[in-house]
Structure 1
Amino acid sequence: MPAQDQELLLVTEAERNAIFKHYGINEGEFDEMVNIIREWHKKTKLPQEDTISGKIKIALFNCKMDIEKAKRCLESYYKIRTVHSDFFDKLVPNTNIYNLAKEASKTVIMPKLTPDLCRITIFRLCDPNANVPDGLIYELVSFLGVEYRIFSGDTFYSNTLIIDLKGFGFHNLMKYSPGVCNTLIHCLVSVKLRLKNLHFVNLPPIMDKVMGMVKMFLPSKMHDKVKVHQTYESLYESIPKEYLPSNYGGTEASIEELEEKWCKLLESKEDEFKLLLKAKCHDLLDEKPSKNHNDQVEGSFRKLNID
């Protein structure tokens, strides 16, 4: 990863060693695992990409260093990009739909890992009139950030999400149809996302409806991971100030400053994202996705890694 890119995804040597120590391995053994999966990948019909090493590393982190599960994770990644190609084909910077998404929401991945070695992602809506076609557009820049983390091989133990609902209203809620929620869930489980906590801040008056919708799509064991904060002081009990943007009383740069840096980075990687448009594998589509939304969601959540 280039030095200028590393500034947005910082990982110290001590943090890397601590993550590997947690799994009872060292970095050399981790590299051996990567090589084992790389050799397996060469013998499959999966797309043969230059960025496969980053994808393998992310799969291992999300699958708790289980090689066989990491292989299935890679297959699932390509399958979901094929099944939902209508959405993933929009994941290209510097397009009209990208510019619309960038104006409608703000996504920031914080540069430093937390003391518990989690990578923080903050999502905030900025579309009071709900001018987007559907809720997937709100998530477009978020997914570009996720894809960048995947092909660059980010290092982390788990993930913490902060959802800022200050600009969220009923009109925005209506953009999240069951079909949109279903797609989002399948995209998350395609990489077996490890999720430590989900924090909500700046809840609007329609809080009950919002939280009701959220819990409807979350497995029961995840409910305790959902934290609702009426004040930022409450948020600090989970995340120290030095890991938060100045918007939340933290000591990091503001969301606006960090988002500008992230968008510049993503836009500079346009060619890499265009290559990802080929990251599909129709051979994996041996069965059609279930038409029953509830069954599909329930089955998918069995694959979600919750710490």
Structure 2
Amino acid sequence: MRPFGFHLSIAGGVYNACLTAGKMGISAFQFFSRNPRGWKSRVIPDDDVIRFKKLYKECAIKTSVIHTNYLINLASPDNELHQRSIKVLGDELETGKVLGIDYIVTHLGSHRGVGREKGLKNVLIGINRVLDVKSVDAYPVVLLENSAGAGNLVGNKMDELRWVMERVENRDLLGLCIDSAHAFGSGYDVRVKDGMDRIFNELGDCGDRVMLLHLNDSKVELGSNKDRHEHLGMGYIGRDGLRNFLLYPDVAELPVIMETPRDDRATDGDNLKVFLELIG
């Protein structure tokens, strides 16, 4: 069965993600290695690294993901922010290397009014800087995640992701993560085959670099350009739509991370039950 799981907390120690995953019976997880709304890095004690690796094996985890913080903006025209974003992404790669993480997921960011072309060029400069001389055998793969397209965010259109992928110098260390809610918000109707066909037609030869799915329903309608995650089956994508997204041939075996809301309407267990019914 394909690896699947949730974005989990590492409060109390990074190894707690493994413990939580083991208790839930999931085989994949994602976490923030640092405060998602802060720049300060978190030093992981050596003992925690050892315990993480031990529990990772014991709990039969198959896929692990670090999600970068929300402040990273590789598309930014502001040099200070751009350089800081490059450093943080590089730090996350080093953390991932130490822990043996599979993927580092990051958003591309906002062009802040200078235009998409300039924003994408800034992303490419940043990615090339981060991945320079990195070995695919030693480091996690960086995954660019599609956005919903709010404001000046770049990366909501698949041809923009393709543009970066086709020009990156170290392609072996760069891939893509497709988020169902973000794609839906950006106008890709993941509920139907034509919508998924459109995604992969626009990605072209880069379609084989999609390595991870973020599975979320959407609180907002198709093409809203808003990023509003919903519990599985409770939003505008719905169960049938999510099933179409999950079982589309080009992604049917990829690992899945759910980033559903934290509220009293449904638990991770409830969402897991829906997921298992969807892949049935």
What TM-score, normalized to structure 2? 0.34
Higher CA-based Rg: 1
TM-score with structure 1 setting the length: 0.32
Q: Answer 1 or 2: higher relative contact order, Cα 8 Å, separation at least 6.
A: 1
User: Which is helix-richer, 1 or 2?
Assistant: 1
